[in-house]
Chains A and B, each alone.
Chain A
Amino acid sequence: MGEGPALELVGLVKEFRGRRVVHELCLSVPRGSLYGLVGPNGAGKTTTLSMATGLLRPTAGTARVLGIDVWADPAAAKSVMGIAPDGMRLFEQLSGRELLQYVGALRRMPHDVVVERTTELLTVLDLAGDARTVVADYSAGMVKKISLAAALIHAPRLLVLDEPFEAVDPVSGQTIRTILRRYVASGGTVVMSSHVMELVEGLCDRVAVVAGGRVLAEDTVAGLTRGGSLHDRFLELVGAGEVVGDGLGWLGAGLQGGP
């Protein structure tokens, strides 16, 4: 495989019942980068990532992972990437340990390697104490962490994470950040979506701003923010709503007068 981008999306289109939600989206994620995908709610981030990872068939367009066409050879593409979608359930009757071992076995890894990595992942992500608890009884943050572990277990070359920090406590968040940085430093590539600007600004090398199913801007973090904050730049690009101007004036109006 050459030195092309780790993830390349060309003219991706997705229509649901005739309604177009992703418009000929093009994106190129260089190898060895920590790439942030930001956008408002309903921007098409999850849809795009699903199409990039073989979970949702695009209406048109191509997605390539390390040069492999995801939709022409899904199995090959999936073998080099690890995915942690947001809000998708896991096999909840399995315990955390069983889940990781299950994923390892499905990925045809040798059993002793699976056992070793499972223990290590559970320890690092602070889940060792709940290794025998069924995933159904996990909290939202724990589910996030176990999904991340499931995405990491086969040491993929590309990691695609949808909202990896949502509901995760600060300590675990720091652990995950460290894991991701180290992973990228050793040559891996991470694509993550988020709507927490501060997090993306502090963690990612490059950022793409997506809204309405289109890429509005794409650059290095420094190039995009140009000295300002990503937060302000984002609002500028997406167009901050002016609704709050004079609206909702009644809210709090009753608080001054009396009880």
Chain B
Amino acid sequence: MTGLVVRLRLRMWWTAMSRSSLHLTSSVLGGLAALGVVVVLGPLIGLLALRPPALTAITVPIFTGLTLMWVVLGLIAAGVDNVLDPARFAVLPVPARTLARGLLAATLTGIPALMLMGLSFFQVLAWLSAPVAVPAAALAAVLGTLTAVVASRAVTTLLARVMTTRTGRLVGAAIVSLTTLLPLSLNLAVARGQRIDALFAFDAGPVARAASWFPTGWAWALPFDVASGRWLPAAVHLLLAVALLVVLWAVWVRQLERVLTSPLTSSGGQSIGAGRLLPAVLGHSPVATVTARRIRAWYRDSRLVAIALRTAVLPVFFVVQSVVTGTPGLAGAGVVTLAVFAGLTLMNDLAFDGEAWWLHLTTGLRGWEDRLGRALASVIVFAPAVAITYVVSVALGVIEHAVAWGSVVLASFLAALALALAVGAYLPGTAPRTGGNPFAATSGGAAQGCLTALVSFVGPLLLVVPVVLGAVLTLERPVGRWVVLVASALYGLGLLALGVLVGGRRLDRRGPEMLGQLAHAQM
């Protein structure tokens, strides 16, 4: 059975790859990225072997964090495996325990799991600095990796039940998207003027001891305990780690049993408000109608809620970090980043509609109306966020040349929108399935991301260059700054108009082909 499930997974993976070049590219790129992480990070960890055990102890917090991230990221990327949805086994006479073993083995053959195993191997090498701890490190590697995989599985299935209702999905999306920002806050804590060479004389002991009592750190603390001769904590950690694994396994099997016996999730009819406000404000023209629908989606569609939250919270970190470290450029760059990201969210807007876009096609909606409607929705949703972040940063005094930065922020927001409108009409991108798990951002999404990443990152930069030049040249000129601000607003609006026209014309000409692409845009 175990072998069968593993073969099934590989088979499905292979079929998916051979059927679509997008999938193939994404798998290859994903594999290379994972390999890169292992090749770069692994030896760094391994080199700790040359350092005293006090420093090697840093592996404890690192792997504690890694395990936690693995569980959370498993939710977001469903990178674990959405290929092997346990519900698909519901009609077959398979006991949950057997299936769980199979799914575990299948997960371990996946790229993310292999990456984690690679890194934990280097963790064992790192403990060569204290030979007595090596067997403990090996045990930790096995226990820790299994904990990560099983925890991820258990939490995913647990949350999947919450996710069957729309409200549940919204709440879940909010929590998880904010959790992904944890590493940034970690970065914030570390960035308090620490120099990198100071790290080598650093005693990681206290941090390791703290991390060792965190559930995901129990297993990874074993070699540290042994190396420092703390036998009692070692015993407790071992006990706890094993117990955690057993409990997680039991939870997962239980959840699987539930899924296998009641695969059909029903959410029941959930009623929503009358939604009269938006039409009243925007009117009833086709453009306004599209705008109203996209605005509603930003708060009704859990997939978009997750993106909006992440986009909106990201710059807060830049601003806070700027305040903490006193680096003035950081806040400005943070606001610009928010502006660009907010604009680029339009890039795969069509993919979020998916096949439902036929309603636009069949009603004879003009391409420019589709484009403009979406642009207005993004402006209404994100412009206040950008403006507030900017104003707050200026008020806090972390943005020095307020007008110059203002010009750049304005131009980058409009330029990113324009770019997304035009490019999105050619490359619709991919999106998680409508009404599905909002965290099931697929590997295919990564591929499309790679294809458009270049455009997304280089494009806005290039488009904003003239504004940046203007802003820098007029830094010392009181009147010139304002001229640049007005000019960049006009420039941005010009780009936006161009984006609407170019994207709109493309949709007018290739609407049916776009519909065909959109039929496969959701995974």
Using a CB–CB cutoff of 8 Å, the interface residues on chain A facing chain B are: 53-57, 74-75, 78-79, 83, 85, 88-95, 98, 101-103, 105-108, 111, 114, 130, 132-134, 136-137, 150
Contacts and interface: CB of A to CB of B under 8 A. Distances in A.
5 contacts: A55-B362, A56-B516, A106-B363, A134-B166, A137-B267
B359 A108 contact: no
Given A90-B359, A106-B289, A74 B511 contact: yes
Contacts of A132: 271-274
Interface string B291-329: 001001100110000000000000000000000000000
A94 B293 contact: yes
A102 B353 CA distance: 14
Contacts of B274: 132
B358 interface: yes
B304 to A, nearest CB: 9
Nearest to B303: A93
Given A93-B296, A134-B300, A150 B359 contact: yes
B269 interface: yes
A78 B516 contact: no
Interface of B: 166, 267-275, 279, 284-286, 288-290, 293, 296-297, 300-301, 353-356, 358-366, 434-435, 511-513, 515-516
Contact of A103 (B269, B296, B363): B363
Given A91-B356, A132-B274, A134-B272, 15 more contacts: A54-B361, A56-B516, A75-B364, A88-B356, A89-B355, A92-B356, A94-B296, A105-B284, A105-B285, A106-B365, A114-B284, A133-B269, A134-B166, A136-B435, A137-B267
| Majority-rule SS of A interface residues | mixed
B362 A54 contact: yes
Contacts of A107: 363-364
Contacts of A103: 359, 363
Contacts of B364: 74-75, 78-79, 106-107
A132 B275 CA distance: 9
Nearest to B296: A93
Contacts of B362: 53-55, 78, 83
B269 A57 contact: no
A53 B361 CA distance: 10
A89 B269 contact: no
Nearest to A73: B364
Nearest to B515: A55
Contacts of B354: 89
B356 A102 contact: no
